[in-house]
Structure 1
């Protein structure tokens, strides 16, 4: 079995170009360092370093193995830091991106409660319906609807069973009546929001095995999904929204669910980050916290 200190010795020797210098850095004798390197080469059955009395260089096999040795040491160090963190309270800054509607109307009170439980944690919240670039923007993690298209991102499910629902306010329904079928949406004012630069005007529904795709229209479009919800609450039309975004409005009677026998399109919520190294204790705790509260909302969903 490979030994941690042998890997350390090999990496330090490659970085310094000297076995004796690596031995000094690791506070071991040259004889111990030489024995460690010899033991590693014997276990791998390759020569990692070409040595003479005056020079030392990596062999082609050594250059190849150095990449893996560094990654192994980095992974072990990250594991150690997570263990240390698990024994302490969470602190520092957590930068989170979230959709505008979910963030303002659902997530904000949850984050207040989360910070009350972890007062040493600072939050920086970015609310936007555009997809944040997790590799370039100052964001640690993001809550996103739908699985990310970029397979290099790490995505953890938070509310995998979430769906869209049709909603309108009691005042709108009193004035215009309630649609009795998805086809009747053509007779109503449908409130739209912009998604990736275009209006989301193709609404998908399912009734058993039957699937219907409706092209809808209305007199209002906005690039902020929260605005479309506010228009619906104000009685301006029908909206097609994530259940997580409107569950509280439905519970308080500000909105009513329409055509509950028709399933809206799946809208799973994920926690997304660029690297697994970003899955700190704070991130795991926040995911569990939000996941539990999302499930409470989903338990009251109309398709249950």
Structure 2
């Protein structure tokens, strides 16, 4: 008996979210159905794909080996759905999207430009905003958002688990020195993002089996992630940023990683929408964005 694509989708969602409950919610199924699908797939393959603990899930060696093939199978299915969704006149209509400011500028803009080139009759309304969107009050069709989704009425599809890194301008590190342990961050100037009216001033780090959480004392707090990046570039302090947003700055030498032997916490990025009955243009765009998961998965420090 061959593996079911719906069971494979549960496995991939578990790998992306790290929790079976989040995977079930993203797929619109119950926890029991998701658990049964995962067990059924493992029985069919004759291997343990996911190692379960009381708090989280992680892939086994076999699961790591199977994951890229599972993604490829789902991508092929998505491509077929996209081809069938196009009517004779092509996709058309307005799509309204909101995304975090840095991610919108650094990643999403290029993706949308590529999608638009193939669909000249689709219009785009884009809002780069780090605030949580109220789908029922704001004119939004799709939202890309960091963090675990809190509204159970929304459909949330995991896009990536993005790694945070501490970073600073070479000028700042030359003047103040580089910390050698996360606890030393408390004595440094830091630049923090404000999330839901509260500064994100508790930074978590992992080195092998060792974990450490430090409360920093931010000198600068912004509700705009781009301003956090700019102030870090100006040498105003150390920032804790998603690697995908600062990778080019680090490669160009404008920023340097701080505590490179430590990894910051991972930040889930979800694609969220409210409508279950989607227009062909929205369905095609969602499939197009989900196909970028591999690109994001490869963007690691």
Q: How far apart are 1:105 and its partner, in Å?
A: 3.0
Partner of 1:262: 262
1:286, 1:260 → 2: CA distance? 36
**2:153 match: secondary structure:** coil
Partner of 1:127: 128
For structure 1, the residue ranges without an aligned partner over 5 or more in a row are: 1-81
2:84, 2:285 → 1: CA distance? 18
1:257, 1:94 → 2: CA distance? 37
1:290, 1:243 → 2: CA distance? 19
2:248, 2:288 → 1: CA distance? 18
1:185, 1:130 → 2: CA distance? 27
2:252, 2:212 → 1: CA distance? 30
User: For this pair of structures, how many residues does the alignment match?
Assistant: 220
Q: How far apart are 1:124 and its partner, in Å?
A: 0.3
Q: Deviations over 1:131-150 (max 9, x none)?
A: 01112210001001122111
Q: How far apart are 1:291 and its partner, in Å?
A: 4.5
For structure 2, the residue ranges without an aligned partner over 5 or more in a row are: 1-81
TM superposition score normalised by structure 1: 0.66
Partner of 1:169: 169
- Assess, with a 3 A threshold, how the Cα gap between structure 1 residues 212 and 284 changes in structure 2: closer, same or farther: farther
Q: How far apart are 1:277 and its partner, in Å?
A: 1.5
- Assess, with a 3 A threshold, how the Cα gap between structure 1 residues 291 and 167 changes in structure 2: closer, same or farther: farther
Q: How far apart are 1:154 and its partner, in Å?
A: 0.2
Q: How far apart are 1:286 and its partner, in Å?
A: 3.1
> Is the aligned partner of 1:247 residue 2:225?
no
Query: Runs of at least 4 residues of structure 1 off by over 4 A?
Result: 291-294
Question: Greater Rg, structure 1 or structure 2?
Answer: 1
1:223, 1:301 → 2: CA distance? 25
- Assess, with a 3 A threshold, how the Cα gap between structure 1 residues 249 and 291 changes in structure 2: closer, same or farther: farther
Partner of 2:300: 301
Moved more, 281-290 or 181-190: 281-290
2:258, 2:269 → 1: CA distance? 22
Map 1:271-290 onto structure 2 (within 5 A).
Answer: 271-278=271-278, 280-290=279-289
* C-alpha RMSD of matched pairs (Å): 2.3
Partner of 1:224: 224
Map 1:61-80 onto structure 2 (within 5 A).
Answer: none
Partner of 1:112: 113
1:267, 1:283 → 2: CA distance? 25
1:255, 1:292 → 2: CA distance? 30
Partner of 2:140: 139
Partner of 1:73: none
Partner of 1:157: 158
Partner of 1:94: 95
Larger strand share, 1 or 2: 2
- Assess, with a 3 A threshold, how the Cα gap between structure 1 residues 155 and 245 changes in structure 2: closer, same or farther: same
Q: Deviations over 1:210-233 (max 9, x none)?
A: 322210012211111110011111
- Assess, with a 3 A threshold, how the Cα gap between structure 1 residues 286 and 256 changes in structure 2: closer, same or farther: farther
CA contact (8 A) 2:201 2:215 kept: yes
Moved more, 199-208 or 254-263: 254-263
Q: Deviations over 1:33-75 (max 9, x none)?
A: xxxxxxxxxxxxxxxxxxxxxxxxxxxxxxxxxxxxxxxxxxx
